[in-house]
Amino acid sequence: MSDADIFVQSLANRIRAMNIIWERAISDMTLEQVNHHEREGVLPIAFSFSHYMRAQDQSISVVFRKEPPLWISGGWAAKVGVSVDTLGREETVEEMQHLKFADLDAWKAYQSEVIARTSATLETIDAPMLAEVVMAQLPPNMQNIFCGIVVGPGNPIRKLEVLECFVYQHGLRHMGEIEHGRALVGLRGMTS
């Protein structure tokens, strides 16, 4: 196995493992716990689920599969009954702190579809594919995000960065929020 093959396999395995943790995180939560809003100026747990899973959906669906996100094509906003139907990257905490789900079973079904699509896509990746450029550079308003720091100003975004930054690192970051949120509603962490 070449070094490139080992790296691709490792990246795919890390994303799969992270998504198992996302599945565990939602499996024992109630709607009240997911919608818990600690206090003014703090995002609810539902925000972290919605923001990240929709970002994973967009990254995999649009960049790798050249398809609309499942969120759009499946009409999941209406099924989940999300109170704020936006990704939450440009919006303020004051706007996004009101995000809630009405139907937790619908959310779980959406999340499962996203993870299944990601898993199927990971079966198709290889080193040459990950080297493909998808964006000449990040727009100015995204230069200070993690991926902007990783690639540096004026550099292209490849499919590799989409997986490493927008799927893997992003997912771990928001899982940390969910683990903290779970503690606030009396639940345990995901890996201990």
Assigned token pair, 138: 């990040």
Backbone Cα Rg of the chain: 17
Whole-angstrom CA distances from 59 to 52, 92, 121 are 10, 22, 11
Task: State the pLDDT at residue 138.
Answer: 84
Residue 144, pLDDT > 90, answer: no
What is the pLDDT averaged over residues 119-147? 91
pLDDT tens profile 57-112: 999 999 999 999 999 999 999 999 999 888 777 777 888 899 999 999 999 999 99
The pTM (predicted TM-score) of the whole model is 0.93
What is the pLDDT averaged over residues 135-146? 84
Task: State the pLDDT at residue 80.
Answer: 98
Instruction: Encode the chain in three state secondary structure.
Output: CCHHHHHHHHHHHHHHHHHHHHHHHHHCCCHHHHCCCCCCCCCCHHHHHHHHHHHHHHHHHHHHCCCCCHHHHCCHHHHHCCCCCCCCCCCCHHHHCCCCCCCHHHHHHHHHHHHHHHHHHHCCCCHHHHCCEEECCCCHHHCCCHHHHHHCCCCCEEHHHHHHHHHHHHHHHHHHHHHHHHHHCCCCCCCC
Task: State the pLDDT at residue 13.
Answer: 97
Contact 107, 80 (CB under 8 A): yes
Task: State the pLDDT at residue 143.
Answer: 79
